Structures are given as C-alpha cells and as structure tokens.
C-alpha cells in the first residue's frame, strides 16, 4: 500500500464526531475509515442497480459455514499477586 501526504481542510467538529463514531484513535485512521466506507457504499449501490435486470434469474442458495462447537474450558483460579 502506498501512502501520500495531503493537506485537507476539515471542520474540527466534523472530524471529532467522525472519530468518535468510528472509534478511530488518529485523524489519519478516521479519514481512511471514512473513505473505505464511502468506496464500499458506492460499490454496493452499483451492484444494487443490477437488481432485477437479468430476466428468469434464479436465486443462488446461500451456504452458511457450520463451525464446530468446542467444549467450554474450566475456569482457572486466579493467582494472587506478589508485591
């Protein structure tokens, strides 16, 4: 992944709200998460535009991955701290 520095003019209140909403710790992470969400949303809208455009199309059965159930582990007693 290549990175480049950009100078952006972003409202401080908007950036703070976005950072709190996505749980990011840095401004860079906030902007990256926002851009990734925008790209995903645009891709979804493009795919959604094809909905119903193929005549006589049949639904594809969805498979769900069945995970094995593991037995619960016994709780271990806590060890006392030595000061």
pLDDT of 43-57, one tens digit each?
988 888 877 777 777
The backbone region for 9, taken as left when phi is positive above 0, alpha when psi lies in -120 to 50, beta otherwise, is: beta
Q: pLDDT tens, 23-82?
A: 999 999 999 999 999 999 999 888 888 777 777 777 777 777 777 777 777 787 777 777
- 21 pLDDT above the threshold of 70: yes
Delimit the domains of the chain by residue range: 26-51
Q: Do the Cβ atoms of 23 and 34 come closer than 8 Å?
A: no
Cα 16 from Cα 19, distance rounded (Å): 5
Please tell me the distance from the alpha carbon of residue 78 to that of residue 38, in angstroms, as a whole number. 46
Q: Do you know the residue count of the chain?
A: 83
Residue 30 burial (C-beta neighbours within 10 Å; 0-12, 13-18, 19+): buried
At 28, list the tokens: 């860079």
Largest CA distance in the chain: 74
């Amino acid at each position: 992944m290549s990175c480049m520095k950009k100078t952006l003019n972003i409202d401080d209140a908007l950036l703070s709200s976005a950072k709190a909403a996505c749980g990011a710790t840095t401004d860079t992470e906030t902007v990256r998460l926002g851009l990734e969400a925008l790209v995903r949303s645009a891709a979804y809208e493009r795919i959604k535009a094809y909905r119903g455009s193929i005549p006589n199309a049949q639904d594809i059965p969805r498979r769900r991955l069945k995970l094995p159930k593991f037995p619960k582990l016994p709780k271990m007693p806590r060890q006392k701290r030595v000061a």
